[in-house]
Structure 1
Amino acid sequence: MKKNWLYIVFLALFLGICLIFPVGTWLSGPSEAGANEVLSQPPKWEDKRGNWNDAYLQDAAAWYNDHFYLRQELVSTQRLLTGKVFGTSGEDSVILGKDGWLFYGSTLEDFTGTTDLTERDLYAMARNLYLMSQEKPLIFLVAPNKNSLHPQYMPNFGAQAEKTTGERLQDWLRELGVNFVDIYSAFQKEPVLYYATDSHWTPKGAALAADLINQAAGKTTNYYAGPFEPGEPYTGDLYEMLYPAFAGTEPDWIYGGQLDFSYVGNAQRPDSITLQTQSHESGSLLVYRDSFGNVLYPYLADSFGSVRFSRSTTYDLTGEEELVVLELVERNLSYLIEKAPVCHNPTVELSLPEPVGSLVLEKDTKANAPEGYVLWQGTLDSTPDVQSSVYVSAGGDVYEAFLLKENGVALYLPEGVQPDTLVWETGGVLESKTISEKG
C-alpha cells in the first residue's frame, strides 16, 4: 500500500512538471522574442494556395518550442551555466569574451582574416566608392567591429589578422584617393569607446566620429570634449541576445551639451528608416547609416542646416544634398558590392580593342535609376585582375561600370541607348566582348 502511494506521488509530481509549460503558456501567453531573435509564426490550417497544410503539426511544434512558458528564463540560465562551465556562450551569434566583454559572432572571420572577401572584392568596394564620389562629394567611414579595436578582450580563438577587413579596405581607399574617415587610428589613441556588452560605440565614441566627419567636411566641432554625464544603466544588445530574461547593465555616459536641431516630419526614433532634421547651421547633408548611426545622428543634425538620414542600403546619390556621408559597420562591408549605387557612371576617354566573343547584359527597367536612365547588369566570364576596372561602350561613349561580387558588373545608360562592347583585364591581357541583351 505504501509503495502504491509512493508511485502516485511520483506520477503526480511528473505530470505536474509536464503541465507547467503548456498550462503556463495558456495562462500567461506565449513567450516573446529576445533581442534580434526571429521566432516561428503561429501554424495555419491552410497553405498559401488555400490547400490543407500538410506541415501543420511540424509548424505547431516549432511554434510551441519557440514560445513555451519560461522559455527565455530557461534559455538564459542554460547559457549562463554553459559560460561558467565551458567558457563559451551557448549562442552562435555571441562570443563570450574576457572580463565580461561580449562580441558579435559574425565578426570572427574579419578578426582572424578568414573572411571570404578577396582582394578583388575589396578593390571593387573602393572603386565603387570612388565612382560614387565622382557624382557628389562623399565621406566614407567604416564603423570598426569591436574586436578590431579591442582584441585583448577576445577569447583564444586564434591570432588576430595583421590587418582587419576594414583596414584592408582603407588601404585601397587611400590608393584611389577616396575621402574617408579613419576611425581605427583615431579610436586606438583614446580610452575605450565601445560598450562591453553591446556591439556599438558609446555616445562619446559617436561624438568623436562626428568630429572627424565634420573635419573631413571642412567644419570644426568638439563634441568629444563633452560635457558627458551619467545616463541610465545600459543593457547591451549582445547581452540581451545571450541572456534575454536577465537584466545585466553597465554604466553609460550621455552627451550633456546643447544640441540645437529639430525634426522635420513625424519620424523621430533613432532607428527610423528615414529621419529629416534642420538647424541654424549651414550646409545640406545626406547620411546613409546603420545602427551605429543611432547615437551618431544627433551630432550631425546639430552640425548641418538640413540633414536626411537613411538606413537604406540602396545608396541613391541623385538627391539635392550637397554632401553625402556613408557609414557602414565593418562586418557588413560586402553591401558595397551587392548592388549598384544609384548614380551616373562616369565616361572616360579610352580606345577599346576589337571584341572577341560575346557576353550577355540584362536590362532592368524596374530598378531604381537616375532619371532618364536604365540599369544594365551581368556577369563576366573570367575573373578580372585585382585592379582591373570594367568599361562599357554605348552610344559613342565609354562608361566605367560598377563592380559587384562574383565578377558582376552594373551600369546605368540613358534610356534608348544600347551597350555594345565590354572590356576588362585578366592576366594582364585586355578581354573585349560584344554585348548582347538577355532574352
Structure 2
Amino acid sequence: MQENTDAQPGVERRSLTRALNRIAAMAIFFGLLLLPIAWFGRASFAPHTNENRRLEAFPHLSIHWAQDFERWFSDRYGMRDALVYYGSRLQMARTGLPMNQQVVVGRDNWLFYDENYTPGHLHFASLYGEDSFLPSDLQIIADNLSRVRKHLAACHIPFYLVIAPDKQTVYPEKLQMPPPSGATTQADQLDAYLHTADPQLRIIDLRKPEIAAKTAQSQELYYRTDTHWNELGAFFGYQAIAKRLVHDGVLADAVGTRLDSYRIRTTPSAGGDIAVNLLDLPGYFPDHAVQLDNTQPRQAHDISLPGWPPNINNSFRITENPAASGSLLLYRDSFFDALTPFVAEDFHRIYSFLGRGIDGNRVRQAHPNAVMLEIVERGLRHLVDRPANLASACE
C-alpha cells in the first residue's frame, strides 16, 4: 500500500503556521504587557492628565514597600496619559456613561459630581430626601458651631456660617431624574436644627439667593462641566453675603454689589474640573465661562506677612486693600475662590484658610472684625470636626 506522501508537507506547513501564530500572539500579548515598562518616563502622544490629586511619592523602605511601589508605579507607567485619555473617550462613545462612578451626565450634557456616592445606591441621595443626618450628627455640628460663636462673642467678634449650594440644588432640572418637590435635604435638616438649637448663630444660606438669581437671569450661574459656580453665580453669592454684613454693621458699605458695575462676558471653555480632572475629557463636552469685567480697577492684592504661612497651592492667602478698613478671618473651600475678588474689595485685609478647622490661635493673631466659615452643601458632614484652641481666641 502506497503512503500519501504529498499530504505530509501540507500538514507540516499548517502545523508550523499554527505554531508561529501562537508564538506571535503570545509575543504581542506580552509585548503589550511590557509596553508600559518599556515606555516608562517617556512622553505620551496624548494630552497630559489633569487629575485633581497628588501623585504617590516614591516609597521609603518599609514592610509595605511593595504595595507603596505599586501605587507609585500606577501613577507613572508608560503611556498612562494615552490609555486614560482614549479609554475615557471609548467608554463614553460605547456606553454614554463616564468611567468615574461619582460623575453623572445630566440633560444637555451637564455634568454633576457626587463625592458622597456609594455604589449600588442613589446618586445625590440627600437631594431626594434620603441619606439624612443622624440626630447625633446634628447635635455634634450644632455644639461645634455654638462653641465657636460663644467664644468669639466673648471677643466681640461675630461668627458667620456660609452655605454654598451644590450645582444640582440650583439646577435640579438638568438631572436625568429631577428630585421630587418638597424633599428634605441635609442642608434643610441642618438649617432647621441650628435655628432651634442656637438662634443666635448667624447663617448665610446662599441656596435661595442663587435659585432666585437663576430665575431672573438669562445667563447660567454654574459651569456645565464643573462643580463650581461661574463668576456671575459667585457675584450673587457675594451680594447676599455683603448685604448681611452691612446689615449687621460689620461693613459700613459694600462697593461691588451692583451688577451694572460689571460687563458680562461669555467665552468658550474646554471644560471644568469634572470634565478635565475627574474624567480626563477636555473639550469633549461643550461649555462656556461667564465672566464679569469690573468697570473700576480692583485695588485688593495678595501680600505676605511675617508669622503667617506662605501661600502654597492656595491653601492660605492674605489679601489686602489699602483703601478699605476692617479684617476678615476666613475658613473656606474652593467655592470661595470666585468670591474672593468681590469680598476682598470690602476689607482692608482677609486672612483666608483652605479648610474648616477654625483655630483660636489664628483668631488671636488676626484680631479680625469677623470670622467666617464657608462650606459647600455636599461637605456639611465635615462640620462634625471639632474646632481647636477656642479658649485662646481672646488672649
User: Same fold per TM (> 0.5)?
Assistant: yes
Quick check: 65-74 or 99-108, which moved more? 65-74
Q: Residue 302 of structure 2 contacts residue 317 of structure 2 at CA under 8 Å; is this kept in 1?
A: no
Query: Residue 252 of structure 1 aligns with which residue?
Result: 289
**The residue matched to 1:303 in structure 2 has which SS?**
coil
Matched, 1:150 2:165: no
CA distance in 2, matches of 1:268, 1:60: 31
Distance in structure 1 (CA, Å) of the matches to 2:278 and 2:317: 29
How far 1:159 moved relative to its partner? 5.1
TM-score, reference length from structure 1: 0.67
Structure having the larger proportion of residues in strand: 1
Q: Which residue is 1:229 aligned to?
A: 265
CA contact (8 A) 1:33 1:39 kept: no
Match 2:347 to one of 292, 301, 304: 304
2:160 match: secondary structure: strand
Is residue 273 of structure 1 aligned with residue 316 of structure 2? Answer: yes
Q: How many residues align?
A: 341
Deviation at 1:263, TM superposition (A): 2.2
The structure with higher relative contact order (CA 8 Å, sep 6+) is 2
Partner of 1:193: 221
**Contact 1:275–1:310 (CA<8 Å) still a contact in 2?**
no
User: What is aligned with 2:390?
Assistant: 343
Q: AA paired with 2:276?
A: E
**Secondary structure of 1:324's match?**
strand
Moved more, 139-148 or 88-97: 88-97
Change (3 A) 1:157 1:184: closer
The answer on whether the counterparts of 2:166 and 2:377 sit within 8 Å (CA) in structure 1 is yes
Rounded to whole Å, the distance in 1 between the matches of 2:73 and 2:144 is 46
CA separation of 1:291 and 1:256: change in aligned 2, threshold 3 A: same
Q: Matches of 1:181 and 1:288 in 2, distance apart?
A: 14
1:125 to 127, 141, 164: 141
Query: Offset of 1:99 from its aligned partner?
Result: 1.8
1:327 aligns with 2:374: yes
Unaligned runs of 5+ in 2: 1-12, 117-123, 215-219, 247-252
Q: 1:64-106 CA distances to partner (integer Å, 9 max, x unpaired)? A: 3332223233234334444444443221332232221222222
Structure 1 residue 40, shift from structure 2 partner: 4.3
Distance 1:12 1:120 in 2: 60
Bigger helix share: 2
Gaps of 5+ in 1: 48-52, 345-368, 373-439
Matches within 5 A, 1:47-58: 47=62, 53=63, 56=66, 58=67
Give the drift of 1:271: 2.4
Q: Does 1:202 align with 2:223?
A: no
Report whether the alignment pairs 1:214 with 2:242: yes
Name the counterpart of 1:396: none
Q: 3-state SS of the aligned residue for 1:189?
A: helix
**How many angstroms apart in 2 are the aligned matches of 1:208 and 1:283?**
22
CA distance in 2, matches of 1:41, 1:128: 35
Alignment of 1:1-400 (within 5 A): 1=13, 4=17, 7=21, 13-14=28-29, 16-28=31-43, 34-37=50-53, 39-43=55-59, 46-47=61-62, 53=63, 56=66, 58-107=67-116, 108-115=124-131, 117-134=133-150, 135=152, 136-156=157-177, 162-175=183-196, 176-191=199-214, 192-218=220-246, 219-220=253-254, 221-222=256-257, 224-225=259-260, 226-231=262-267, 233-244=269-280, 246-248=282-284, 250-257=287-294, 258-265=297-304, 271-317=314-360, 318-319=363-364, 320-344=367-391, 369-370=392-393
Report the secondary structure of 1:288's partner residue: strand
Alpha-carbon RMSD across the aligned residues, in angstroms, is 3.3
> In the alignment, is the contact (CA less than 8 A) between 2:327 and 2:368 conserved in 1?
yes
| C-alpha spacing 1:158/1:180, structure 2 compared with 1 (3 Å) | closer
The answer to whether the 8 A contact 1:286-1:323 is kept is: yes
Say whether the 8 Å CA contact 2:303–2:317 is kept in structure 1.
no
Q: Distance in 2 between matches of 1:210 and 1:54?
A: 48
Query: Would the aligned equivalents of 2:328 and 2:371 in 1 still touch at CA under 8 Å?
Result: yes
Amino acid at match of 2:244: A
Q: Following the alignment from structure 2 to structure 1, what is the Cα–Cα distance between the partners of residues 69 and 383?
A: 39
Q: Deviations over 1:224-260 (max 9, x none)?
A: 4422324562521111233326444621122211322
How far, CA to CA, are the matches of 2:344 and 2:312 in structure 1? 14
Aligned AA for 1:244?
Answer: D
Cα shift readout 1:352-374 (whole Å, capped 9, x = no counterpart) = xxxxxxxxxxxxxxxxx5477xx
Identity of aligned residues (%): 23
SS in 1 for 2:287: coil
Q: Is the 8 A contact 1:73 1:244 kept in 2?
A: no
Quick one: structure 1 residues 4 and 60, their matched pair in 2 at CA, closer, same or farther if it must change by over 3 Å?
farther
Aligned mates of 2:25, 2:90 — CA distance in 1: 28
Residue deviations 1:386-421, cap 9 Å, x none? xxxxxxxxxxxxxxxxxxxxxxxxxxxxxxxxxxxx
**Aligned partner letter, 1:133:** R
Contact in 2 for aligned 1:270/1:295 (Cα 8 Å): no
Give the 3-state SS of the residue equivalent to 1:28 in structure 2: coil
